[in-house]
Structures are given as C-alpha cells and as structure tokens.
C-alpha cells in the first residue's frame, strides 16, 4: 500500500455553511504531510471526516485502505489522534489518560511512554484542569507518540507548547518518520511545517488549492529583485510575470514570477547591472498568497503578495 490517506471530491455542509467543497487530499505512506489553510478553511472538518466522527455528504475517503465511516473502529486501531484543544477529565490524572488512550488503540510501548514523559517534562500525576493548555497538549502527544500505530493525525498539536517543547515535538515527528509511520500534520507554524513536512496541501474555502513538495510550491511563487543599473531600464513593465515594479532613476525594485525570472534578468543586463540582489520567496509569502481571500486577489492582483 502506498497511500495512507486518499480523499477525493469531499463535500460536507452544516446547514447553509459549506465546510468542504470538493476537497482532495493524498498522503503517501511514510511521509509527513503538512495540512495548511487559514482558519475556517475546513482542516478540522476534514480530519473529523477522516476519523469517522463526521459523515461526508459526498466524495470518497480512504484511510489506511479502509472507509473511515464504516470501518471506524478497525481504522482507529492503527491511528493516533491529537486534537488542537485537549480536554481532560477533572478526576483523572494525566498518566491515567495516557494509559487509557494507549489501551484503546493498538497498545502502548511502556519504555517509550516513560521516555516521552521525561522528554516533554510532563508531570503525569496532575489531574484534569490543573494542567495548563500546553501540558494538556503534552498528555495527548505522549499518548500518541507512545502508541503502536501506523498513522498519526495531528490537528494543530503544538498550540500552547513553548519553543523548547516545540523542538522536542519536532524531534518526535522525525523519529516517527524514521520508523516508517505516516503523519498528517495540520499546523499554522510555518517553521514547523518547513522543517518537518515532505509534502504539503494547502486548502481554502473547503477546497484544495495547492499540493506538492515545498520545492515544487516555491517554483510557483515570486522572486523579489533589487538592482542598481547603469542606465534607466526599458520595457520592464511590459514583460510578463512582473509585479510591483518600482523604478527610481537607476534603481529598480520588482517582483517576478519565478518561472519568468530569466527574461527579466536579460532585460536588466541589457541596461547594465551594477549590483543585484535577488531574494527567493519565503514560505510566508507562499502562504500569504494562498491564504488571501479570492476577492482581494482578483481585485488587486499585484498587491496581493507584496505584504
């Protein structure tokens, strides 16, 4: 089996709200897959469909080769899930919850449990509400990483974790990948995604707008160029793919679609280049561009990126 998760044309509405509007998602077995999108894009709804907690209106979904709705229990035996907001029972200690979740899945590796509690600096004897937000997340994270499963579904798992714990979390995800497990990671922390993910899917308005490796996606974005020229430039504005052109005497600033860079460079060297700085697109720009809502993007196509 090469695909851990296959989703195509998923639709789900709550009353008049269309939470999912034909969403596609493919996660290969053994990869760490980033699942990105602005708030309300439908990430958590998708995850709940994948967990069989919600029933899709239409479309197909397969998790570990099975239907997540009809075979929920069998699928869940091989899944560990960490929600973005962990709620615990007030009269159960963190350790009890970790063991409960472990037993309700495929089982728990006791040695790894102890090691993870140490690494996450979690006190397993505290109860329910006495944990802070970050510590409640740790309870679910320890339970997930110590479980003997094939697929981890993590929905904004690091909300509330401090930077040191964020590092521990990233190390744990790396270890999971090394052990051949698949991870679906929904996150807003771009450095985390950049560090961990082999591939990402970006969704917006319940639809997948981009999917691929980070290197692939970078090609779709713009490079910013600042140049000091020997003579005023000519014809730059007419070149395809040039945005935010700003010419002040001999000084030029512009953004260019990365696949059109060559033509721009040729035009610049025609005017004689004295100095040139070219900045590859940052991940932030990539996401900002995709997170913008459609209205602003169509109305002001040139300023949409230049934030």
Which residues contact other proteins by CB under 8 A?
A: 44, 48, 51-55, 72-74, 76-77, 79, 81, 83, 85-93, 95-101, 103-106, 123-130, 140, 153
- Closest contact distance (angstroms) between CB of 161 and other proteins is 18
The CA distance from 99 to 117, in Å, is 12
Instruction: Strands of 156-198 (E only): list them.
Output: 182-186
Q: Is 111 helix (H, G, I), strand (E, B) or coil?
A: helix
Report, in Å, the least distance between residue 213 CB and other proteins. Answer: 28
Considering only CA atoms, give the Rg of the chain. Answer: 23
Q: Would you say 7 or 149 has its CB closer to other proteins? A: 149
Query: Alpha carbon of 57 to those of 15, 30, 63, 85, 88: distances in Å?
Result: 12, 29, 17, 26, 31
* 3-state secondary structure (DSSP) of residue 243: strand
Please give the helix or strand (H or E) that residue 18 lies within, else none.
strand 17-28
Beta bridge partners of 23: 10
**Residue 166, phi-psi category: left (phi > 0), alpha (psi -120 to 50), beta (remainder):** alpha
Q: Give the residue among 134, 152, 133 at the shortest CA–CA distance from 144.
A: 152
The closest alpha carbon to 34, from 232, 218, 165, 194, belongs to 194
Rounded CA-CA distance 152/276 in Å is: 45
With respect to other proteins, which residue has the nearer C-beta, 74 or 294?
74
In the complex with other proteins, the residue whose CB is nearer, 53 or 230, is 53
Quote the least distance from Cβ 104 to other proteins, whole Å. Answer: 4
Which residue, 140 or 165, is less far from other proteins as judged by CB? 140
First to last CA, the chain: 43
Distance of closest approach, residue 105 Cβ to other proteins, in angstroms: 5
CA distance 87 to 97: 11
In the complex, minimum distance from the CB of residue 92 to other proteins, in angstroms, rounded to a whole number: 7
Q: Which helix (H) or strand (E) holds 289?
A: helix 283-291
Q: Closest approach of Cβ 31 to other proteins, in Å?
A: 21
Rank residues 61 and 242 by Cβ distance to other proteins and give the closer one. Answer: 61
The distance of closest approach from Cβ of residue 149 to other proteins in the complex, given in angstroms and rounded to an integer, is 10
Of residues 74 and 234, the one with the C-beta less far from other proteins: 74
Cβ proximity to other proteins, 186 vs 223, nearer residue: 186
The tokens for 130 are 């006495």
User: Cβ of residue 168: shortest distance to other proteins, in angstroms?
Assistant: 19
């Amino acid at each position: 089996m090469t695909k851990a998760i296959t989703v195509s044309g998923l639709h789900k509405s709550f009353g008049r709200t269309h939470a999912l509007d034909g969403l596609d998602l493919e996660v290969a077995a053994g990869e760490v897959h980033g699942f990105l999108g602005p708030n309300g894009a439908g990430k958590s709804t998708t995850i709940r469909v994948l967990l069989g907690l919600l029933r899709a209106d239409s479309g197909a979904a397969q998790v570990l080769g099975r239907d997540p709705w009809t075979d929920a229990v069998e699928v869940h035996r091989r899944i560990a899930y960490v929600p973005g907001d962990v709620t615990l029972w007030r009269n159960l200690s963190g350790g009890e919850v970790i063991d409960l979740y472990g037993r309700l899945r495929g089982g728990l590796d006791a040695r790894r449990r102890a090691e993870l509690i140490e690494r996450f600096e979690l006190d397993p004897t505290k109860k329910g509400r006495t944990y802070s937000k970050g510590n409640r997340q740790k309870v679910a994270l320890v339970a997930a990483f110590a479980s003997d499963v094939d697929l981890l579904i993590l929905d904004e798992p690091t909300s509330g974790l401090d930077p040191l714990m964020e590092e521990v979390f990233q190390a744990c995800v790396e270890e999971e990948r090394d052990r051949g497990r698949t991870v679906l990671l929904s996150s807003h922390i771009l450095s985390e995604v950049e560090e961990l993910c082999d591939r990402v899917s970006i969704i917006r308005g319940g639809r997948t707008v981009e999917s691929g490796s980070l290197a692939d996606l970078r090609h779709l974005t713009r490079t910013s160029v600042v140049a000091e020229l020997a003579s005023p430039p000519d014809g730059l504005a007419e070149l395809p793919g040039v945005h935010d052109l700003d010419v002040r005497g001999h000084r030029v600033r512009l953004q260019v679609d990365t696949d059109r860079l060559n033509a721009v460079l040729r035009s610049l060297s025609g005017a004689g280049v004295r100095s040139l700085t070219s900045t590859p697109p940052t991940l932030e720009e990539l996401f900002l561009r995709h997170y913008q809502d459609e209205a602003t993007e169509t109305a002001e196509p040139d300023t949409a990126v230049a934030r």
